[in-house]
Amino acid sequence: MSLDQTPGGIGTDDLVLNDRVKTPMYEDPALFNEEMEKIFGKVWVWVGHTSEVPDKGSFKLSHVGLQPVIISRDRKGEIHVLVNRCRHRAATVCEIKKGKTSSFQCPYHGWGYALNGELRAIPYTKGYNTDFDKKEFGLKQLKVGIFEGMIFASYNMDVEPLEDFLGNAKPWIKLFMKQGGGYPVKTLGEHQFKVPMNWKIQLENTTDAYHFPIVHKSFLQSLDGEATETFSFMDDDDGYVEDLGNGHSVMVMMPEFIDLDNDDGAPIPERFAELAEDLRKDYDEAQVRRLVRAVGGCGFNLNLFPNAACSLSFFRILRPVSVHETEIRHIAIGMDGGPAAANQMRMRIHEHFQGPMGFGSPDDAEVWERVQRGSAGGGEDIDVMVNRGLGLEKASDNGLPVGDISAETGMRSAYKMWKKVMEQ
């Protein structure tokens, strides 16, 4: 099926306009299937972080689109992304979420696979003809790309190099990783929840500062005065949203926390005073300040098309399940080998906002569900508007649009890429 026209008869040109998208974008199951094939079946998709598979023999389950995959680190230390499906009769070969192993064995007929996916052993070989070649039946491999510890995979072996795809997002990823405070960044656990909504509603939200003071009022009310000031970006005039190309964008909410190594000399906020005092036992003042700034996290959300975000101080990963269902992971990150007190504070900050019972995420989940409920049965007469900031944007050094903090520039960037990929 080609997407010049969807089964409903609407072409991509009609579904995505610069200032709006059509309601079937959230609603059409046939369109969803096309997205799985043309987007999640082809482009680079975030699957995990290297710290989740730290040693030779480490593995972790993940997904690329609808398919279950295994991220594994083989005996040489090389990382593989393998479709979690026996090449014989399709059973998953692993149902343990993460761990260490020397091989994967299918429970159905006992086919055994090495960590690099090669088929090593099958029971009762004499039932196969002599021309049966085990080399042809390794676990299906995806192309793997790693940037700054983030593991991406693609079904398309001829996909453009990962670094080209990330493009202008690369310097922002490097800035994001400064949250290690001089230590390598490591995942500290994750919150997972599903929401009855189309995946693009979440994709939009990571670049949506406009909703923050409305949806997250109860979170803001739970902060002290200084922290409230940090989150006052809708009333400040120095934040912005920049289209980075290829569907990626960055929303800078707190410009003073773009580069965490750039110590502005501001006093340590009251909420970090106890942590700073604790760190002073083992670190000099410059290092204490660096660690405290790292614990506070970055001042921007980097949205990476189609499924990942480096959001303030965590990874936000989305997984489309069906046209009406999306799974969200909020992965906490910290300092590998860093001070326990610093990692504890990072986890407490994460728990405060994120996850199924955080002070922020449940309200996000509620409004996303409301978008899906409001879109139900929607046809072509009412559109979803993404026009905020149009006509007010400037051009970045890259020649791409930059809008003010609440502009829907990032959404327009993602939809431009959506259209480009769907038309290929």
**Binding region for another protein (CB under 8 A):** 97, 188-195, 215, 217-219, 221-222, 327, 332, 340, 343-344, 347-348, 350-352, 355-357, 359, 361-363, 365-367, 369, 373
d(CA 57, CA 350): 30
**Which residue, among 64, 102, 99, 100, has the nearest Cα to 85 in the 3D structure?**
64
Per residue in 358-396, is it b (16+ CB within 10 Å) or e — as a string?
bbbbebbbeebeebbeebeebeeeeebebebbbeebeee
The distance of closest approach from Cβ of residue 221 to another protein in the complex, given in angstroms and rounded to an integer, is 7
The distance of closest approach from Cβ of residue 143 to another protein in the complex, given in angstroms and rounded to an integer, is 27
d(CA 103, CA 119): 10
d(CA 360, CA 45): 26
Taking the least distance from each CB to another protein, the nearer of 118 and 278 is: 278
Taking the least distance from each CB to another protein, the nearer of 10 and 275 is: 275
Instruction: Kindly give, in sequence order, each residue whose CB lies less than 8 Å from that of residue 4, ignoring residues fewer than 6 positions away.
Output: 11, 12
The distance of closest approach from Cβ of residue 318 to another protein in the complex, given in angstroms and rounded to an integer, is 12
Taking the least distance from each CB to another protein, the nearer of 159 and 312 is: 312
The distance of closest approach from Cβ of residue 344 to another protein in the complex, given in angstroms and rounded to an integer, is 6
The distance of closest approach from Cβ of residue 359 to another protein in the complex, given in angstroms and rounded to an integer, is 6
d(CA 134, CA 390): 57
CA 251 and chain centroid, separation: 15
Taking the least distance from each CB to another protein, the nearer of 165 and 272 is: 272
**Which residue, among 166, 331, 152, has the nearest Cα to 249 in the 3D structure?**
166
Beta-carbon count within 10 A of 356 CB? 13
The distance of closest approach from Cβ of residue 321 to another protein in the complex, given in angstroms and rounded to an integer, is 9
Pairing state between β 314-322 and 308-311: antiparallel
Taking the least distance from each CB to another protein, the nearer of 121 and 357 is: 357
Taking the least distance from each CB to another protein, the nearer of 100 and 352 is: 352
Taking the least distance from each CB to another protein, the nearer of 363 and 383 is: 363
Taking the least distance from each CB to another protein, the nearer of 171 and 362 is: 362
The distance of closest approach from Cβ of residue 118 to another protein in the complex, given in angstroms and rounded to an integer, is 30
Taking the least distance from each CB to another protein, the nearer of 217 and 280 is: 217
Helix axes 340-353, 285-296, angle to 10 degrees: 20
The distance of closest approach from Cβ of residue 381 to another protein in the complex, given in angstroms and rounded to an integer, is 24
Tokens of 276: 């700073």
The distance of closest approach from Cβ of residue 268 to another protein in the complex, given in angstroms and rounded to an integer, is 20
Taking the least distance from each CB to another protein, the nearer of 217 and 394 is: 217
The distance of closest approach from Cβ of residue 2 to another protein in the complex, given in angstroms and rounded to an integer, is 34
The distance of closest approach from Cβ of residue 342 to another protein in the complex, given in angstroms and rounded to an integer, is 12
- Residue 320 preceded by cis peptide, ω within 30: no
Taking the least distance from each CB to another protein, the nearer of 358 and 403 is: 358
Tokens of 24: 């079937």
